[in-house]
Amino acid sequence: MNTLSYKTVSANKVTAQKQWVLVDADGQTLGRLASKVASLLRGKYKTNFTPHVDCGDNVVIINADKIVLTGNKWNDKTYIRHTGYPGGQRERVAKDLIVKRPIRMVEIAVKGMLPKNKLGSAIYRNLYVYAGNEHKQEAQKPTLLNLNDLK
């Protein structure tokens, strides 16, 4: 009798096939964009996904200043930070943050959807966000990806 042996493939740092992906955020809703980008960064769509290894892609996001928020979130959504000093809690509304630091909203949204450990920090370093059309990763030749085609 012929027995087939199936082996579970576990990726590691050497066998991970990382690619460079370009995402245009123009007209994209912030939360939906962030969840799809977090999945790309983590590599969950790959067949050799391994939870404890950074096997995701490098993602370049352009036009981060043209994202969309639904409802009244431009006025209601607040971003809170702390200076580290007593009484140092600072709040900023989304419409003020997009004017002052346009890439920060996308970075915060994506980082919140990654694991909260050393692996999550390593995966977060594979994200590059730019406010305009130009980016510094031309040498890597990233492939343009339409997020509307992803599940």
- Which runs of E-coded beta strand occur in 8-149? 20-24, 58-62, 78-82, 89-93, 127-129, 143-145
Domains (range + CATH), the chain: 20-149 (3.90.1180.10)
pTM as predicted: 0.90
- Which runs of E-coded beta strand occur in 2-108? 20-24, 58-62, 78-82, 89-93
- pLDDT one digit per residue (tens) for the chain, 151 residues: 566 667 777 888 888 889 999 999 999 999 999 999 999 999 999 888 899 999 999 999 999 999 999 999 999 999 999 999 999 999 999 999 999 999 999 999 999 999 999 999 999 999 999 999 999 999 999 999 998 887 7
- Which runs of E-coded beta strand occur in the chain? 20-24, 58-62, 78-82, 89-93, 127-129, 143-145
